Copies of this chain bind each other. A is one copy, B any other.
Amino acid sequence: MSSETAFISALRNLASSTAARGLMDDAAVLNVGGADLVLTMDTVVESVHFLPDDPAQDVAWKLVAVNASDLSAKGALPLGCLYSHALGEDAWDTAFLEGLGEACRHFALPLLGGDTVRMPAGAPRSFSLTALGQGPEGTEPPARTMARVGDIVWVSGSIGDSGLGLDILLGTQTATGPEAQWLTARYRRPMPLTPLGPALAPYVHAMMDVSDGLLVDLSRLANASHVGARIDLGAIPLSPAYAAIAGTTCEVRMNAACAGDDYVLLFTAPPENTADIEAITKATGGSVRALGAIQAEAGLRLTCEGTDIPLPAHLGYEH
């Protein structure tokens, strides 16, 4: 057990309120005045969650986007956010606020409050944001724990774009041109289709957002639900830009499935809801793909082009 795992386990012992969902979900769900309040908090740290030379506007955008994605995955409509800003250089901070304003408008998360702190000289930049949303009416916010045997496993959007964009920024993947630009923009400005989560919520069992990688997140969802899943790597949706640069082989799809920062929805639903799910997704302007099914046997099972594929050593970004 890593020290971080041990720490989080100790944290879970503290978080005994049912609203905390055992710290196993994307967000807390607190019933206040008859409404389900959905609460999430994410921190981004320079050199850990973003690159020191990422544009300030994009860092702010990402901070809002990742929290908006968590709310959407719980079927919650955004209410607002609070954020804590570590002051740095004036020009950078001003640009950050520009991006923050854009993102708050885009994701309908008005800024309600927060804190501004000075940092000791040389400290890395870090920013925390708490987002609040109102859970779906008439149904519990979907949890990771709610997958059932026989459910179809679905994913919205495309997988791997952000990870490949990061590789291009880091120089571990060589690529230029409009596709490369589109992919690096996916890393810097995640674009979760946040209206999709609330629209889908009444039709799904389990739902979460993919942030650490499709395989590791599906594995968490399956474990939380005490079930397993089998999926076809061949069904993993790749964007045209991704396919143009990296191709579409099984090996490439495996890379996409282990890359992080997708901020798309991963959910399970009974087969009879398929038509509704497809219609709702289309109406919201998104795309959705069935990857496989939930099964009783624990663990993940992968196939690609009809062949069984062993699980990789690392399913994604594990922390």
Q: Spell out A's residues near B (CB within 8 Å).
A: 3-4, 6-8, 10-11, 14-17, 19-21, 23, 27-28, 30, 32-35, 37, 39-49, 79-80, 82-87, 90, 93-94, 97, 100-101, 104, 110-120, 123-124, 126, 128, 130, 132, 134, 319
Contact = CB atoms under 8 A, between A and B. Distances in A.
B32 A112 contact: no
A35 B15 CA distance: 24
A86 B120 contact: no
Given A14-B111, A42-B84, A45-B86, 16 more contacts: A3-B90, A4-B87, A11-B116, A19-B80, A19-B110, A20-B110, A21-B113, A32-B33, A37-B37, A37-B132, A41-B114, A43-B128, A45-B117, A45-B123, A48-B120, A84-B128
A41 B94 contact: no
A45 B120 CA distance: 8
A298 B249 CA distance: 73
Contacts of A35: 32-33, 35
**Copies of this protein chain in the complex:** 2
Contacts of A41: 82-84, 113-115, 128, 130
A93 B83 CA distance: 23
A27 to B, nearest CB: 7
12 contacts: A4-B116, A7-B116, A14-B104, A19-B112, A28-B80, A28-B112, A35-B35, A37-B132, A43-B117, A48-B117, A115-B128, A118-B319
Contacts of A4: 87, 116, 118
Contacts of A87: 3-4, 7
B113 A14 contact: no
